């Protein structure tokens, strides 16, 4: 039986008034079985509700009540999908899940490819496991926008890269989304010598032609770890090959900005950092539509830092004594962090950069978000006793419970360091940590639960068809 299992019940919520408690299972609303919070949101939009709930002891209870149309139950669920996350049907040449180190956080090994998670949380999907009923539901509920992993628009090459016989249907599937008036963002994981060069030109042209339903395209470099065992020979990008990609894409970006006033095609930060080329200005990211995909993270961080600096008007050094602060980053972004820190010219702060090679996944993986606690500790411990404080990237931690990829908690991590350790997430955080370390308290913890309230609003935008 499908059900939504309640994780928390906030005080004074409708659920609290009804007497629901964590562990209760919502089985149906107005006779409708629930596959996910999408079904729940639409069913709960009625004003007269019959809700069947199963309590922890197995007893079932029918709740009957009236509510305002836009009144929400207010609970948080253990999962957004009640019938299980739909798994990937592919065996991609470049699959990062297949390259994860052993003994990592369990969630890293989940190969999800679920259109519902794409709509709700921006997860990218290949659509190879979708059937007509899925497209019908997308149309009925107007699930827009979606996030689609295109990889390439050459049908035979896409079928080869994804190792899936249905992968060649991508253009027809995009037609179906457009017929349902669904907008979508796209992604290409660029593999050197495979879907780059002329194939990339073809893919960009094909998706650009699908505007306005196609909202954006992100191009990110393939990630290769030392645990990759796939027999297909893939190679990562180096300085020269990354530079060629940037130059190729910049031509298309210039054409799009001249024609439509927006860049549309965006490159992952790694390309600019690998190529040792300047990041595009903030306006080239058009409001950062794919920030969660790592597109423009570095530029956004810089802009946040500059805004915090400008807001302060003048840099006030709130220190009674000289401080030596360590800044932990991935190797790709270390120089940028160092330049920002030094731009403040703080007389009472000495900066110790601690760029951490990723020995867990392999040193070709150089982003901060994939650093493990162990690798960071190995690089911090030799200098920690000489520091007054250490900043670590908040992106290394799972939101809600502050656990690193290798299942070490933030508290366990702190217990191994003789000085204070705080997390830094935004450019504003970084500015505040540098200029007022004694008062800085790190990034606040955010819940990792699936909150119904955060996903119900679309019922008011699109209504029912």
Which CATH number covers residue 11?
A: 2.30.42.10
In a domain, 462, yes or no: no
Same domain, 173 and 131: yes
The closest alpha carbon to 113, from 93, 99, 95, belongs to: 95
Interval 278-334: pLDDT, tens: 999 999 999 999 998 889 999 999 999 999 999 886 665 566 778 999 999 999 999
Final residue belonging to a domain, choices 42, 61, 83: 83
Ramachandran assignment for 250, one of left (phi > 0), alpha (psi -120 to 50 degrees), beta (any other): alpha
Same domain, 290 and 350: no
CA dist 201 and 209 (Å) reads 12
In a domain, 360, yes or no: yes
Same domain, 49 and 147: no
CA dist 154 and 202 (Å) reads 8
Q: What is the DSSP string of 241-285?
A: HHHHHHHHHHHHHHHHHHHHSS--EEE-HHHHHHHT-PPPPGGGG
In a domain, 444, yes or no: no
In a domain, 317, yes or no: yes
In a domain, 78, yes or no: yes
Give the three-class secondary structure for 36: strand
Same domain, 251 and 108: yes
Which CATH number covers residue 166?
A: 3.80.30
Q: Is 233 exposed, middle or buried (0-12, 13-18, 19+ CB in 10 A)?
A: exposed
- The pLDDT of residue 104: 76
Same domain, 396 and 271: no
- The pLDDT of residue 318: 60
Counting the structural domains of the chain, the total is 3
Q: Which residues, 6+ apart, have CB-to-CB distance to 458 below 8 Å?
A: 41, 141, 142, 143
Same domain, 336 and 311: yes
Q: What is the DSSP letter of 51?
A: E
3-state DSSP of 199-229: HHHHHHHHHHCCCCCEEEEEEEECCCCCCCC
Q: Which residues, 6+ apart, have CB-to-CB distance to 73 below 8 Å?
A: 13, 14, 15, 20, 44, 452
Same domain, 150 and 217: yes
Same domain, 276 and 343: no
Which CATH number covers residue 377?
A: 3.40.50
- The pLDDT of residue 462: 33
Q: Which residues, 6+ apart, have CB-to-CB distance to 223 below 8 Å?
A: 94, 96, 99, 236, 365
CA dist 40 and 43 (Å) reads 5
- The pLDDT of residue 319: 64
- The pLDDT of residue 188: 97
Range of the domain at 333: 303-439
Final residue belonging to a domain, choices 294, 322, 357: 294
In a domain, 463, yes or no: no
- The pLDDT of residue 48: 95
Same domain, 239 and 315: no
pLDDT beneath 50, residues of the chain: 445-465
In a domain, 459, yes or no: no
Same domain, 243 and 142: yes
In a domain, 394, yes or no: yes
Q: Is 335 exposed, middle or buried (0-12, 13-18, 19+ CB in 10 A)?
A: middle
Whether residue 117 contacts residue 92, with contact meaning beta carbons closer than 8 Å, is answered with no
Same domain, 275 and 388: no
Cα-to-chain-centroid distance, residue 59 = 39
Final residue belonging to a domain, choices 83, 117, 148: 83
Same domain, 111 and 188: yes
């Amino acid at each position: 039986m499908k059900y939504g299992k309640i994780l928390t019940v906030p005080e004074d919520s409708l659920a609290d008034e009804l007497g629901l408690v964590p562990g209760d299972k919502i089985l149906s609303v107005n006779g409708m079985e629930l596959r996910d919070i999408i079904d729940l949101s639409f069913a709960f939009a009625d004003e007269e509700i019959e809700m069947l709930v199963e309590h922890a002891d197995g007893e079932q209870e029918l709740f009957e009540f009236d509510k305002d149309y836009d009144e929400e139950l207010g609970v948080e669920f253990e999962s957004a999908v009640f019938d299980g996350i739909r798994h990937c049907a592919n065996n991609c040449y470049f699959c990062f899940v297949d390259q994860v180190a052993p003994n990592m956080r369990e969630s890293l090994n989940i190969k999800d490819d679920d259109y519902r998670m794409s709509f709700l949380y921006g997860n990218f999907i290949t659509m190879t496991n979708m059937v007509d009923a899925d497209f019908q539901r997308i149309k009925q509920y107007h699930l827009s926008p979606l996030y689609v992993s295109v990889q390439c628009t050459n049908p035979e090459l896409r079928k080869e890269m994804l190792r899936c016989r249905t992968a060649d249907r991508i253009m027809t599937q995009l037609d179906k989304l457009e017929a349902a008036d669904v907008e979508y963002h796209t992604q290409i994981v660029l593999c050197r010598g495979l879907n780059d060069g002329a194939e990339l030109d073809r893919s960009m042209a094909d998706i650009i032609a699908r505007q306005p339903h196609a909202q954006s395209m992100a191009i990110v470099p393939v990630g290769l770890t030392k645990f990759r065992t796939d027999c297909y020979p893939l190679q990562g990008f180096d300085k020269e090959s990354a530079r060629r990609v940037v130059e190729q894409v910049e031509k298309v970006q210039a054409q799009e900005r001249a024609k439509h006033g927006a860049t549309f095609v965006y490159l992952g930060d790694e390309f600019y950092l690998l190529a040792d080329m300047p990041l595009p200005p903030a306006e080239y990211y058009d409001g950062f539509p794919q920030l969660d995909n790592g597109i423009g993270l570095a530029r956004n961080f810089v802009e946040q830092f500059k805004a915090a600096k400008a807001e302060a008007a003048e840099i006030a050094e709130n220190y009674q004594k000289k401080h030596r602060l360590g800044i932990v980053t991935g190797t790709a972004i270390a120089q940028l962090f160092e330049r920002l820190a030094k731009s403040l010219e703080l007389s009472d702060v000495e900066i110790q950069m601690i760029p951490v090679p990723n020995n867990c996944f392999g040193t070709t993986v150089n982003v901060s978000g994939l650093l493990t606690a162990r690798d960071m500790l190995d690089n911090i411990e030799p200098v920690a006793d000489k520091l007054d404080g250490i900043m670590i990237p908040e992106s290394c931690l799972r939101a809600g419970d502050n656990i690193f990829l290798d299942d070490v908690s933030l508290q366990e991590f702190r217990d191994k360091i003789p000085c204070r350790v705080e997390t830094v997430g935004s450019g504003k955080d970084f500015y505040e940590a540098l200029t007022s370390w004694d008062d800085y308290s790190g990034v606040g913890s955010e819940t990792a639960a699936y909150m119904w309230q955060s996903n119900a609003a679309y019922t008011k935008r699109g209504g029912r068809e």
